Amino acid sequence: MSFEITTAFVNQFGANIDLLSQQKDCRFMNKLRMESQTGETGFYEQVGATAAIERTSRHSDTPRVDTPHARRAVTMSTFEWADLIDQADKVRMLIDPTSTYARSAMMAMNRSRDDIIIEAALGTARTGKKGTTNVVLPSSQKVPVGGTGLTIDKLRSAAEILNGNDVDPDIRRYMAITSKQLTDLLESTEITSSDFNTVKALVEGKINEYMGFMFVRTERLTTDGSGDRQVIAWAEDGLLLAQGTNNITRVTERPDKSYSVQVFRSEDFGATRMEEDKVVEIACSEA
């Protein structure tokens, strides 16, 4: 059984089990392209830009324009969660923790899903016919740290990069930040009184959109080799999450464990960056 479950033993009646503070939902869910995938590796086709050819004479030959095609590969990984509940545990606790364990499993999956998406956004994508060509996020898609945290200028730079790449302005744009970056924005000396009021409302949770970005707060963003936080800005179709179709949730007795009840959850998912032009990394100092 879980060696931590004894902390919930009680000598009087209890009504429920409190889940300690933790991220419960997948913060990136529905903020990127989502696909259902059956095989371990899936391929997602892309069509590049073309140019029209001017006709310079009458009855000229019909021009042929070779439309560029590319593809991105997504390999899913299997994530599992399981824990045991002794029958005696239920008696000592006077409540059945099974449903709480199931909720805990779901939350763990949601956090792992976010981690996979963050890794894909800033990591190496796989392209080519068989998905064997590695593509990294180029330096042109990165806003340098500049010795500062998140500032208004960095927000402008990220928007400028996306706009300069002709990213469709009708596609929703997001920015993932931690609570530290929200504080940085509020304390930035570059903020005008109008910006300050807007950012204050952002920090207080009254709004979640600013400068064309819908903000997503997560404390799971990674740091680079210099220890700077890697804030992510992206267009919704610039990232892809592939969800497996064989997700499993089971609550069963284990005869091999003295008929303890096992809560088990298994999910397959993977992610990729679909297009470098649609993802921006912003380095933010947290010193």
Quick one: which H or E segment has residue 160? helix 152-164
Q: What is the mean pLDDT of residues 33-41?
A: 93
pLDDT digits (tens, 9 = 90+) for 128-155: 988 999 999 999 999 999 999 999 999 9
Residue with the bigger pLDDT between 88 and 18: it is 88
Taking all residues of the chain, what is their mean pLDDT, rounded to a whole number?
88
* Dihedral sign of CA atoms 154, 157, 161, 167 in order: positive
Residue 18 in this model has a pLDDT that exceeds 70: no
In this prediction, residue 15 carries a pLDDT of 43
pLDDT digits (tens, 9 = 90+) for 266-277: 999 999 999 999
In this prediction, residue 156 carries a pLDDT of 95
Q: Are 59 and 148 in contact (CB under 8 A)?
A: no
Domain ranges of the chain: 141-241+275-284
- CA distances to 132, 199, 205 from 285, rounded to whole Å, are 34, 19, 23
As a whole-number percent, the residues of the chain with pLDDT over 90 amount to 59
What does residue 65 show for φ and ψ, rounded to 5 degrees?
-105, 120
- Across the strands, what pairs with 135? 125
Q: Which residue has the tokens 């999450």?
A: 241
Residue with the bigger pLDDT between 32 and 4: it is 32
Provide the H-helix boundaries in 168-242: 179-187, 193-203
Phi-psi region of 151 (alpha: psi -120 to 50; beta: other; left: phi over 0): beta
Minimal CA–CA distance to 117: which of 269, 265, 230, 245? 269
In this prediction, residue 1 carries a pLDDT of 54
In this prediction, residue 5 carries a pLDDT of 54
Domain 141-241+275-284 classified CATH 2.60.40?
Answer: no
pLDDT digits (tens, 9 = 90+) for 146-189: 999 999 999 999 999 999 999 999 999 999 999 999 999 888 76
pLDDT digits (tens, 9 = 90+) for 45-85: 988 888 999 988 998 899 998 888 889 999 999 999 999 98
Residue 9's pLDDT band, with cuts at 50, 70 and 90, is very low
Residue 16 in this model has a pLDDT that exceeds 50: no
In this prediction, residue 24 carries a pLDDT of 81
Pairing of strands 33-37, 239-244: parallel
Residue 190's pLDDT band, with cuts at 50, 70 and 90, is low
